[in-house]
Structure 1
Amino acid sequence: MLFTEDFLHYVWKFRLFDRLNLCTTEGEEIEIYSVGLHNTHAGPDFQNARIRIGDTTWAGNAELHLSSSDWQRHGHTDDNAYDNVILHVVYNDDAPVTLPSGRAVPTLELKNRISSDLYQRYHNLVFGNQTIIPCEAGIGRIDPLTMQNWLTRVLVERLEKRAEAVNAALAINRGDWEETFYQHLAANFGFKTNALPFELLAKSLPQNILAKHKNNPLQIEALIFGQAGFLENEPEDEYPRSLKKEYDYLRKKLSLTPVENHLWKFLRMRPQNFPTVRLAQFAALIVQSSHLFSKILELKELKELRALFADIKVNDYWENHYRFDKKSPPSAKHFGQASVDTILLNTVALFLFSYGKHIQTTYFTSRALKLLENIPAENNHVTADFTNLGVNIFTAFESQALLELKNNYCDYKKCLQCGVGIKILKPG
């Protein structure tokens, strides 16, 4: 048989082996009251098991290996963490195991106790020739309750991991949530292509500098475009020339160093997504908004959150320009709903969740999940693949969870750690 130790963990955890006349390799009768709690960290695989061996009921840990000799090979012999192992569960018993104290560890061999049907289903799932995900033949038939429960868990895992990055940035910003939110928001204004230069821009231009010029939109725009490196050369049009004049003065006064302009990407982008347009929108948001994160904590309705970003109005210059000194046909440069929802998904929901975790209040984490439930699903190749496999995807809650599922479970074939994989493998 070809399988991993994870399969043995799965078999033990759900007792999917023949339990008739269980006995150790030494012939002592075994009765399993509890297999224990699966331990995914260092130490024995299952903790707090309760097992009767012969006439004695033991409470302790169970360790699982493909072969008994793996005990020695994995360095458990001299590891005190394994002194409380009461049962060694193996597929193949090929060597006795003894602790430094001299106590022999009872062994249960499962070689002839795992059904060929279970093994075949496992083999087809993990070692099959699937093209998209391991369970592509069965995921569309998973009942809605199982799917929803698992996607909820996976989504929370995704948000918790991303919250770690928020906490790291928060520590650098000395606990300033507004500044941390501002930096993260800036990165997301650049979307994937220009996230880095947008983030560098925000870090080079703290909110306390912008706050001093809030009543002068031209100076805000000058600071944004100047720090982005778009005012290094002498412009032709009057508007960018006025920006450069303001920026040159402020740059000297505030000892500013702009972001390297070559970092900004225009290639293969729709003009509406040019970084110059996004910078104009970002500047407009800065002008009209103050204490943005505090406002977000107060607003509960999706339409109110959307309004924070949808109502921003850029300088009239951009109505017929996508870049400085290059005129274009008139076109509104408002922030479209799809772009707004991307910001709500990647920044607002994340920060609501992170803040709730930080202050240990489920009110904000629940609001984050509810927000994702009310935003339409993303449209990308991952969601398209799942849709083609029969998975219903309506909201960002589901699309974000499926991205996490694909990237951190399916791609690594962690089927035995996945609620969908376990459901497919379970008998009946």
Structure 2
Amino acid sequence: MQEDFLHYLWKHKKIHITHLKTVMGKTVVVKNVGTHNFNSGPDFFNAQLIIDNQLWAGNVEIHIKSSDWYLHNHEIDNAYNNVILHVVWEHDIEVFREDNSPLATLQLKDFVNEGLLKSYKTLFGADNRWINCENEFSNVNDFVLANWKERLFFERLEQKAGVIDDLLTQSKNDWETVLFKMIFKNFGLKVNGEAFFSLANSMSFTVVRKMQNDLFKLEALLFGQAGLLENDTQEPYFLKLLKEYSFTKVKFNLKTIGVLPVQFFRLRPLNFPTIRLSQLASLYFLHQNLFSKVIEIKSLDEFYKLFKVETSSFWKTHYTFQKESKPSNKGISKSFIDLLLINTIIPLKFCYAKHQGISIQDEILELIASIKSEKNNIISAFNNLKPVSKTALDSQALIHLKTKYCDTNLCLKCAVGNVFLNNKLLNQET
């Protein structure tokens, strides 16, 4: 038994509400369950109850056992002096307030529908399930699921906005710098994301601004800071970059302390850090005011045009400095741009709008819904239960659902879990 379940029962009145009595036999009429408190203090504020024909206004505290009152030292905490009802699953001891006055206690297990209790045990009781409701997930109404996914998507955006706010504080409200750091992390993907992020953090964006009109200087800066110009090779382009970077490093007093080493191992050649850094250099060479362009653009096609950049000419015949390869254009693919939009651009647009005091939810929803669903183990598993992920809105919502609700057993705060419990209750009552 979890306290969250008891909160759920009380908050949503999933009990025999018309027959309530305290353990001392006094009748309880619930006028208002109160406001759920998620911080310190009693669990529900400002409840209104009629106990033994007397109206009470105050707080409600909920525990598994009555003795938990003393286990949590509530008897010496002034914050609990205004508790008018102690709601417990099992009454095992009499409870008194700080002034020694007895506290009215309601034992919930006497008033809970057996079908609902059975459903709760079914939901949380089985082992070796990918998610608790996997046997019922396919039966969830599409309308309910669609609304829940939209809410989950915005919860995930809010979470990402918190990271952006931290970067904004660090950069003294320089949005261009924040975008620069986020784009670098995104270009590194999972393997080199942190290394690319540390690279972006190793230098002021002011240095990048001063070099944006020269692609070669930008490449020298990025390759040098990433530690990719430290190999012993006589390749002419490498030596030219090294010479330029050596000058730039002294000129701007650049440091590489804290820059994580980039990885090539087990990466497809198109994802080699050399290729991604050259693409980044080209991107900032082509777009002097990237942040303002990102904010202005609204459609997916416009974003595809904005980020349609390729490497410099040297990398058309190379993946590394050491070995020449067959000539090929190494532009940024649409699928990579989709990831960039999902993980960087859309969260940034959302966060910027919040700081401006405006809402762009409709614009965000239209954009994310125009992007194809991501493909990963979580999405595949959900789709095996029920085909639910067609767009990036779906996939982002489902990733959030799995990691923040399913994996932490927050089924009682999930629309799917509530549907499961309510349906079982209705089936018991009909």
TM-score where L is the length of structure 2 = 0.94
Q: Which of 409, 412, 419 is matched with 1:413 structurally?
A: 409
Q: CA deviation at 1:188?
A: 0.7
1:241-267 deviation per Cα after TM superposition (whole angstroms, max 9, x unaligned): 221221122122222234688711111
Matched position secondary structure for 2:109: coil
CA contact (8 A) 2:369 2:392 kept: yes
The residue type equivalent to 1:360 in the other structure is: G
Instruction: Report the more deviating stretch, 170-179 or 208-217.
Output: 208-217
Aligned mates of 1:286, 1:308 — CA distance in 2: 11
Matched position secondary structure for 2:17: coil
Query: Within 5 Å, which residues of 2 pair with 1:278-289?
Result: 278-289=276-287
Distance 1:258 1:94, change over 3 A: closer
- The yes-or-no answer on 1:369 pairing with 2:381 is no
Q: CA deviation at 1:19?
A: 2.9
Tell me the residue number matched to 1:144. Answer: 142
- The yes-or-no answer on 1:402 pairing with 2:398 is yes
Tell me the residue number matched to 2:333. Answer: 336
Query: Within 5 Å, which residues of 2 pair with 1:217-232?
Result: 217-232=215-230
Q: Which of 382, 388, 398 is matched with 2:384 structurally?
A: 388
Query: Within 5 Å, which residues of 2 pair with 1:164-243?
Result: 164-243=162-241
Q: Which of 42, 54, 57 is matched with 2:55 structurally?
A: 57
State the identity %: 38
- The yes-or-no answer on 1:101 pairing with 2:63 is no
Matched position secondary structure for 2:143: helix
Aligned mates of 2:211, 2:337 — CA distance in 1: 25
- The yes-or-no answer on 1:87 pairing with 2:107 is no
Q: CA deviation at 1:307?
A: 1.4
Task: Tell me the matched-pair count.
Answer: 424
Q: CA deviation at 1:367?
A: 3.1
1:143-188 deviation per Cα after TM superposition (whole angstroms, max 9, x unaligned): 1221122222222222212211111111111111111111111111
1:3-52 deviation per Cα after TM superposition (whole angstroms, max 9, x unaligned): 11111111112222223432222222211122122222211112222211
- The yes-or-no answer on 1:74 pairing with 2:43 is no
Q: Which of 268, 280, 298 is matched with 2:266 structurally?
A: 268
CA contact (8 A) 1:230 1:261 kept: no
Aligned mates of 1:317, 1:279 — CA distance in 2: 13
CA contact (8 A) 2:311 2:330 kept: yes
Aligned mates of 1:68, 1:212 — CA distance in 2: 68
Aligned mates of 1:258, 1:287 — CA distance in 2: 23
Distance 1:229 1:222, change over 3 A: same
Aligned mates of 2:260, 2:91 — CA distance in 1: 63
Q: CA deviation at 1:234?
A: 4.6
The residue type equivalent to 2:186 in the other structure is: N
Matched position secondary structure for 2:281: helix
Query: Within 5 Å, which residues of 2 pair with 1:269-348?
Result: 269-310=267-308, 312-348=309-345
Where in structure 1 do 4 or more consecutive aligned residues deviate above 6 Å?
Answer: 259-262
Distance 1:258 1:68, change over 3 A: closer
Query: Within 5 Å, which residues of 2 pair with 1:237-252?
Result: 237-252=235-250
Instruction: Report the more deviating stretch, 78-87 or 147-156.
Output: 147-156
Aligned mates of 1:277, 1:145 — CA distance in 2: 44
The residue type equivalent to 1:322 in the other structure is: Y
TM-score where L is the length of structure 1 = 0.95
Matched position secondary structure for 1:60: strand
Distance 1:81 1:391, change over 3 A: farther
Q: CA deviation at 1:236?
A: 2.6
1:57-86 deviation per Cα after TM superposition (whole angstroms, max 9, x unaligned): 222211111111111111111111112211
Instruction: Report the more deviating stretch, 322-331 or 12-21.
Output: 12-21
The residue type equivalent to 2:192 in the other structure is: N
CA contact (8 A) 2:199 2:259 kept: no
Aligned mates of 2:80, 2:151 — CA distance in 1: 31
Distance 1:260 1:267, change over 3 A: farther
Aligned mates of 1:200, 1:232 — CA distance in 2: 18
Q: CA deviation at 1:112?
A: 2.2
Distance 1:266 1:55, change over 3 A: same
The residue type equivalent to 2:346 in the other structure is: A
Name stretches of at least 5 consecutive residues in structure 1 with no aligned partner.
none
CA contact (8 A) 1:228 1:259 kept: no
CA contact (8 A) 2:21 2:28 kept: yes
The residue type equivalent to 1:422 in the other structure is: N
Aligned mates of 1:273, 1:378 — CA distance in 2: 18
Instruction: Report the more deviating stretch, 249-258 or 166-175.
Output: 249-258
